[in-house]
Amino acid sequence: MDRMSAAAAPAPASRRVLLAAPRGYCAGVDRAVIAVEKALEQYGAPVYVRHEIVHNKYVVETLRKKGAIFVEKTEEVPPGNIVMFSAHGVAPVVHEEAARGRLATIDATCPLVTKVHKEAVRYAKDDFDILLIGHEGHEEVIGTSGEAPDHITIVDGPDDVDKVVVRDESKVVWLSQTTLSVDETMQTVDALKTKFPLLVSPPSDDICYATSNRQAAVKAMGADSDLVIVVGSKNSSNSIRLVEVALDAGARAAHLVDYASEIDEAWLDGVTTVGLTSGASVPEVLVEQVLEWLAERGFADVEIVKTAEESITFSLPKELRRDLRAEAAGLVADQ
């Protein structure tokens, strides 16, 4: 190559990764996963878990290998065993099923989901109509609805508002699933307020800190990203929302993957900046694998885009703490 052509050659565009922070495990997921591991150590395998403990393929497979058995219905658990309820929460009727089946229970419902259950019970007691903004059929929505089935109407986004009917427009409150899009939820609330001007709001946000923080971080890096990769499972509500938020923020493309091996090389065509984040049920090892995959393709430069600090932790479910304490005190007989 002569000197002229060397000088005229375009410099290779610098490739980089914008890594969102916070991302990955929230306090509720961390607690639920540790609860299954501790239960396996404490009581031995198998430990039955009703539904996926959290919505992540890798986590569920890892726990399955350690001895957890995931079931869809409480009746599938043989009498006399232990059943754990997932982080998404269950309706009171599920506790009754467990009692009928002579099952010991460990409730790994996230405390922030329990907060919404308690709000539903309280407003139902005061005879409010409760408009629960959330995705029809999602386990958390099924669990919350089960606290007050005669008082709750599910509102699955702004398009559902037209068909909502209430008994008394002066006694209506809205609550929500914890893992929704913050922006879309506010659109739904605005539409509900237009229809029901006396609509009461919950005392504090139902969308949890982890969902809000992960969406804020994606918003901050989405506009500067040609491509956003969200690590998370297809049944994870908060992970799907991150893809939507990235696109709304201006990313040219956004995709959800469970593993680095699912990334399509063609997604990188013409891309210089990749945004990377992960849902609240995703262990960091899966993000590290994506970073390695990207580094092998020239995206070795990683910049952290940090929008919040998180320090929340939750203690283990009370049933487990009780047994761990008892064992520590030497009071538990051999099982």
The reply to whether 240 sits near ligand SF4 by the rule CB under 6 A is: no
**Beta carbon of residue 294, minimum distance to ligand SF4 (angstroms, whole number):** 26
Name the active-site residue from 136, 140, 169, 184: 140
Contact criterion met (CB below 8 Å) for 60 and 70: yes
Under DSSP, is residue 18 helix (H, G, I), strand (E, B) or coil? strand
Nearer to ligand SF4, 78 or 203 (CB): 203
Cα dihedral 61→33→184→171 (10° resolution): 130
Question: Pattern 29-68, binding to ligand SF4, x per CB under 6 A?
Answer: x---------------------------------------
Q: Can residue 87 be called a binding residue for ligand SF4 (CB under 6 A)?
A: yes
Cα 129 → chain centroid = 27
Position 180 contacts ligand SF4 (CB under 6 A): no
Residue 70, classed as helix, strand or coil, is strand
47: tokens are: 């430990």
Assess 109 for contact with ligand SF4 (CB under 6 A): no
User: CA 258, CA 278: separation in Å to the nearest integer?
Assistant: 10
In the set 82, 110, 218, 254, which binds ligand SF4 (CB under 6 A)? 110
**In the bound complex, what is the minimum distance in angstroms from residue 50's beta carbon to ligand SF4?**
16
The three-point CA angle 63-64-66 to 5° equals 65
Structure tokens at 142: 């099924």
Q: Is 113 in the site for ligand SF4 (CB under 6 A)?
A: yes
Told to check if 86 binds ligand SF4 by CB under 6 A, we report no
- Is 140 catalytic? The answer is yes
What's the min distance (Å) between Cβ of 4 and ligand SF4?
58
Size of the site for ligand SF4 (CB under 6 A): 15
Verify binding: residue 27, ligand SF4, rule CB under 6 A. yes
The residues near 193 (Cβ < 8 Å, ≥ 6 apart) are 199
231: CB partners within 8 A, 6+ apart: 239, 256, 257, 258, 276, 277, 278, 279, 282, 286, 287, 290
Residue from 22, 24, 28, 143 in contact with ligand SF4 (CB under 6 A): 28
Interacting residues toward ligand SF4 by CB under 6 A: 26-29, 87, 110, 112-113, 178-179, 208, 210-211, 238, 280
Active-site positions? 140
